[in-house]
């Protein structure tokens, strides 16, 4: 199967409807796709990125359906195997093809794939290649989300092929974005899980791309943006320093004590007209938590003390929050203990990357007493005042 974008450009990738997990880590509620693009010039042609190698036979069949008998260039925007992994088979089928990649991608592709150095040609930032009436410009866009990533810009058509940058894990028969709300959610999840740790460098990449007229963005996961301002605006907003007046509450409770404190916090925040997003870590899709962390001003963790430290589910959430480096401004901890422990310190030790103002932790002995609830009242007042002053 292939789909026509215009007379000379085709989508020849794979829709993976049933994949549930990415990197054996990230839940994929909506499947994904591995997009690959074929561009025919007057003299030469090019394939931009390939597909997850499990699907290589279907990929090669797509190219055969399209009647492709020769490939001049294979552009590898990103060395990760879901985009590069089918290059060796593609090269076996089309041995005359030259692989074009960034300087940093070359050693990575050699490490990851069974190909030879002679198969690879490094292109520099700003280099162009002409296919005849179609000029491909290579724009280094590092750290989206590996160090070697680049984007390819088709000058005449003003189409950007940025690989993972602007992508979304979304299996859909829509070649272009149609259901904007659905794509918004999938793209935000993708940004949260994959891109957020590189927020500052992504800002620089966005500024670099602002010099280009872009009429279409064709990423390597999810549908194509034929109105690219949608996703560019979203990326501007997600990577900006602005936060939203929202409180994210990842929490877990074994016997209900922390749960009661958190329930009280939630209703008090709602009564104070503050947006709340609670996540029970015992059953959470961590992608949903990551999405909430993209722009919330405040995060309050809830955990009992377990074997002197936080509950392991809280440990995992704190570790994740730390590596994702959200722009959260304020944080707090609410919890319960039985006899002794260092839950608060151990949880905080897991999050050195969070540059937050920390509220006084509220840790109840067993089931919370009246003074613990009074402390929550004070906390809610502080949160309200901080959010009002954003």
Interface ranges with ligand FMN (CB under 6 A): 253-259, 304-308, 336-341, 366
Closer CB to ligand FMN, residue 29 or residue 338? 338
Least spacing, CB of residue 330 vs ligand FMN, in Å: 23
| Residue 364 C-beta: closest distance to ligand FMN, Å | 7
Q: How far is the CB of 358 from ligand FMN (least distance, A)?
A: 21
Compare residues 163 and 252 and give the one whose CB is closer to ligand FMN.
252
CA distance 37 to 45: 11
Closest distance to ligand FMN from the beta carbon of 303 (Å)? 8
Sign of CA dihedral 363, 367, 372, 374: positive
Please identify, using beta-carbon distances, which residue of 33 and 305 lies nearer to ligand FMN: 305
29 versus 256: smaller Cβ distance to ligand FMN? 256
* Integer Cα distance of 200 and 210 in angstroms: 16
Q: How many helices (H) and strands (E) does the chain have?
A: 12, 23
The tokens of 284 are what? 């959470």
Residue 385 in contact with residue 356, Cβ under 8 Å? no
* Residue indicated by tokens 């010099």: 211
CA distance 282 to 128: 51
Burial 213-231 (b: 16+ CB within 10 A, else e): ebebbbbbbbbbbbebebb
Question: Between 4 and 367, whose beta carbon lies closer to ligand FMN?
Answer: 367
Minimum distance, C-beta of residue 90 to ligand FMN, in the bound complex (Å): 53
Name which of 41 and 368 has its Cβ closer to ligand FMN.
368
Residue 282: CB minimum distance to ligand FMN, A: 10
Q: Decide: helix, strand or coil at residue 138.
A: strand
**Residue 174 CB: number of other CB atoms within 10 A?**
13
């Amino acid at each position: 199967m292939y789909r026509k974008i215009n007379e000379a450009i085709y989508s020849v990738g794979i829709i993976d409807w049933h994949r549930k997990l990415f990197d054996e880590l990230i839940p994929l509620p909506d499947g994904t796709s591995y997009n690959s693009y074929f561009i025919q010039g007057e003299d030469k042609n090019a394939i931009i990125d390939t597909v997850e190698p499990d699907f290589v036979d279907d990929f090669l069949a797509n190219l055969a359906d399209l009647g492709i008998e020769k490939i001049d260039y294979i552009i590898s925007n990103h060395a990760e195997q879901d985009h590069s992994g089918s290059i060796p088979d593609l090269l076996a089928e089309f041995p005359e093809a030259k692989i074009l990649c960034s300087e940093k991608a070359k050693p990575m592709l050699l490490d990851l794939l069974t190909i030879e150095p002679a198969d690879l040609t490094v292109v520099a930032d700003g280099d162009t290649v002409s296919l005849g009436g179609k000029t491909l410009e290579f724009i280094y866009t590092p750290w989206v989300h590996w160090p070697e990533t680049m984007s390819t810009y088709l000058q005449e058509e003003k189409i950007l092929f940025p690989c993972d940058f602007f992508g979304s894990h979304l299996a859909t028969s829509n070649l272009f974005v149609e259901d904007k709300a659905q794509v918004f959610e999938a793209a935000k999840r993708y940004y949260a899980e994959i891109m957020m740790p590189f927020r500052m460098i992504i800002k620089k990449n966005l500024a670099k791309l602002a010099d280009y007229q872009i009429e279409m963005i064709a990423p390597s996961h999810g549908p194509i943006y034929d109105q690219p301002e949608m996703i560019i605006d979203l990326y501007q907003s997600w990577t900006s320093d602005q936060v939203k007046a929202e409180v994210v509450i990842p929490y877990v409770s074994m016997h209900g004590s922390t749960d009661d404190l958190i329930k009280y916090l939630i209703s008090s925040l709602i009564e104070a007209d503050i947006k709340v997003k609670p996540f029970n870590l015992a059953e959470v899709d961590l992608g949903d938590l990551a999405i909430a962390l993209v722009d919330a001003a405040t995060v309050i963790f809830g955990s009992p003390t377990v074997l002197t430290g936080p509950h392991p589910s809280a440990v995992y959430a704190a570790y994740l929050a730390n590596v994702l480096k959200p722009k959260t401004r304020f944080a707090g901890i609410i919890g319960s203990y039985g006899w002794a422990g260092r839950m608060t310190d151990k949880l905080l030790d897991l999050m050195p990357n969070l540059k937050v103002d920390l509220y006084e932790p509220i840790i109840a002995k067993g089931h919370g007493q009246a003074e613990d609830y009074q402390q929550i009242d004070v906390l809610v007042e502080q949160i309200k005042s901080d959010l009002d002053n954003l």
